[in-house]
Amino acid sequence: MSTLKIGWLFPDTLFLHGERGNLLALKRFAGMAGFEAEVDKIDFHTENFVPDDYDILFCAPGEISSFTIVHDWLKPHTDELKKFVESGKPLIVTGTSVALFGKQIVRTDGSQIDGLGVIRIISTENEEVYGDDNYFKCSYNGQEMEIIGNQIQMNDIDLNGEQPFGRLLYGYGNTGKDRNEGVIKNNSIFTNTLGPMLVCDPWLTVEIIKVAADHRGDEIRNIEYDMELEKKSFDTKKGLIKTKESSLVNCRDTNGGN
Sign of CA dihedral 117, 118, 121, 125: negative
Residue 56 has pLDDT above 80, yes or no: yes
Residue 256 has pLDDT above 60, yes or no: no
Residue 222 has pLDDT above 90, yes or no: no
For residue 157, the surrounding DSSP H or E stretch is strand 143-158
Residue range 220-241: mean pLDDT, rounded? 91
Label residue 123 left, alpha or beta by phi (over 0 means left) and psi (-120 to 50 means alpha). beta
Residue 18 has pLDDT above 90, yes or no: no
Residue 107 has pLDDT above 90, yes or no: yes
Looking at this protein, which amino acid is placed at residue 140?
A: Y
Cα gap 45→41, rounded to integer Å: 10
pLDDT score recorded for residue 244: 87
3-225 classified as CATH 2.40.170.20: no
The answer to whether the CB of 89 falls within 8 A of the CB of 215 is: yes
Residue range 192-196: mean pLDDT, rounded? 96
pTM beyond 0.85, yes or no: yes
pLDDT digit string (tens) for 111-139? 999 999 999 999 999 999 989 999 999 99
Residue 250 has pLDDT above 70, yes or no: no
How many residues are there in the chain?
A: 258
- Which pLDDT band, with edges at 50, 70 and 90, does 254 fall under? low
Label residue 157 left, alpha or beta by phi (over 0 means left) and psi (-120 to 50 means alpha). beta
- Which pLDDT band, with edges at 50, 70 and 90, does 246 fall under? confident
